[in-house]
Amino acid sequence: MSVVKSDIVGWLLDHLAYINQSYRCCHHIPPDTQCRRYVFKAEYFDIGKPHIADSEIGGQEPGSGDSRLRGRKCKRKSREPNQGELEAQEYHEKVSQAIRNGTRKLIEQSIEVGEQSTDTRVPAGEDCTKKQITPVIANSMLIELCSMAKQMVQEQHQPVQVISDEAESVDDLNLLAHLTENGSDCARIVMLMGQRYLLPPRSSFLLSDISCMEPLLGYKKYDLITLDPPWENKSVKRSRGYSYLFPWQIQQIPVPALSAPGCLVVTWVTNRQRHLRFVKDELYPSWSIEVVAEWHWVKVTRHGEFVVPLDSTHKKPYEILVLGRYKGSSERQNGEPITKTVTVPDCKLLVSVPCVLHSHKPPLGEVLKGLTRPHPKCLELFARNLQPGWTSWGNEVLRFQHLDYFQEHDTMEGGSSCCISQTSTI
């Protein structure tokens, strides 16, 4: 379970525990009878102190809004804030008190019921010694491979590649721009350009860029779609290792064609107000989606502090989620509509220790439970990892599935008897 504490204000989540629960299954290693269990390396969630302490913000108290940071080599001349900065500050003033109070409430309640240790540590898996984190260099090739695949893929409607429980070898799979499904109750290891990637049970994915999404169309109609678009900004433009899309490109994603009637759509948005306005006023209306709620993901350390001061003007410790409902034509039975939608609560908080890996978002399945029809079909767009029971798409969809992000937990004898059934989704 990813939910540690639930309250009217929102949820306290344990992202690492969710990942490791997802891999309580085995990988058959032919011709041996061993099964191996893997867990995500805990150091990727070992955030013990804020990135920027309150004391480093010009010696001011939290909430002062002073963004002067110690250690800067040069001082910028004071200037009037631009329109974007004024809009961001106005938005922050509107939501900051609810974020502060709600986060404190969730953490204090968790301490009271003994779900945290005496040092007020937010649960994030087992304690770990701080280690130097080495990036997985092989993942940088995924975007390039997807670009190459545009020239290689001839067929527009390839059959789905299914990995079954009986399949002993998956070495001959073509993972580029081919919809691949792990239909097994066990995790499986696949190879791509000499690199090993771990697939969770009952997961499916399409590794492609935006120009090769055809295999998804007609595969399923989804009741829940989440997307984390690569938003354009100055820092992204300066970075060579991170691609981005313009708003008009994001608008071309065929979300209506992928949505079942009443589909719940959740979009991660940066704190730039122009992106938030675009989603609410342009993107969702173009997809026939009605905005129904706005939530916040709040990032805290293992000790319950904000990863950066809440009122820092340098950066904020929260991100925005915009929830909407697809208004496609309702399904009918005997001439009567049968699609029923549940009212989505507004202004909820998701509080968790974030992963140090860029853009590794916390799971949403459990907190969205009950807001879709039972046993929903779920899709993540612009994904960088896989989830059991979900379909995932993106040009880095296997990024955080690389085996180097995991470690072997134990080795068990007995073949399929050590496999645990798939993790339930929402």
Structure tokens at 416: 């399929």
Predicted local confidence at residue 339, as pLDDT = 54
Predicted local confidence at residue 79, as pLDDT = 76
pTM of the predicted model, to two decimals?
Answer: 0.84
Report the Cα 174 to chain-centroid distance in Å: 25
Structure tokens at 83: 């329109």
SS3 string, the chain, reads: CCEEEEECCEEEECHHHHHHHHCCCCEECCCCCEEEEEEECHHHHCCCCCCCCHHHECCCCCCCCCCCECCCCCCCCCCCCCHHHHHHHHHHHHHHHHHHHHHHHHHHHHHHCCCCCCCCCCCCCCCCCCCCCCCCHHHHHHHHHHHHHHHHCCCCCCCCEEECCCCCCCCCCCCECCCEEECCCCCEEEEECCEEEEECCCEEEEECCCCCCHHHCCCCCEEEEEECCCECCHHHHHCCCCCCECHHHHCCCCHHHHEEEEEEEEEEECCCHHHHHHHHHHHHHHCCEEEEEEEEEEEECCCCCECCCCCCCCCCCEEEEEEEEECCCCCEECCEECCCCCCCCCCCEEEECCCCCCCCCCCCCCCCCCCCCCCCCEEEECCCCCCCCEEEEECCCCHHHEHHHEEEEEEEECHHHHCCCCCCCC
User: Residue 183: phi, psi to the nearest 5?
Assistant: -80, 5
Predicted local confidence at residue 152, as pLDDT = 57
Residue whose token pair is 């009986």: 166
Predicted local confidence at residue 132, as pLDDT = 58
- Ordered per-residue pLDDT tens for the chain, 426 residues: 689 999 999 999 999 999 988 665 554 545 555 677 899 999 999 998 898 766 555 433 333 333 333 444 445 556 788 888 899 999 999 999 999 999 999 999 887 655 443 344 455 544 444 455 666 766 667 877 776 666 555 555 678 999 887 666 676 788 888 999 999 888 888 999 889 999 999 999 999 999 889 999 989 999 999 999 999 876 544 455 557 899 999 999 999 999 999 999 999 998 899 999 999 999 999 999 999 999 999 999 998 999 999 998 888 999 999 999 998 765 554 554 545 678 999 999 999 999 999 889 999 999 999 999 889 999 999 999 999 999 999 999 999 999 999 998 864 443 332 232 222 233
Predicted local confidence at residue 105, as pLDDT = 95
Predicted local confidence at residue 1, as pLDDT = 66
Residue extents of the structural domains in the chain? 3-66+82-415
Q: Are strands 3-7 and 10-13 parallel, antiparallel or unpaired?
A: antiparallel
Predicted local confidence at residue 142, as pLDDT = 83
Q: Are strands 390-394 and 203-207 parallel, antiparallel or unpaired?
A: parallel
Predicted local confidence at residue 31, as pLDDT = 52
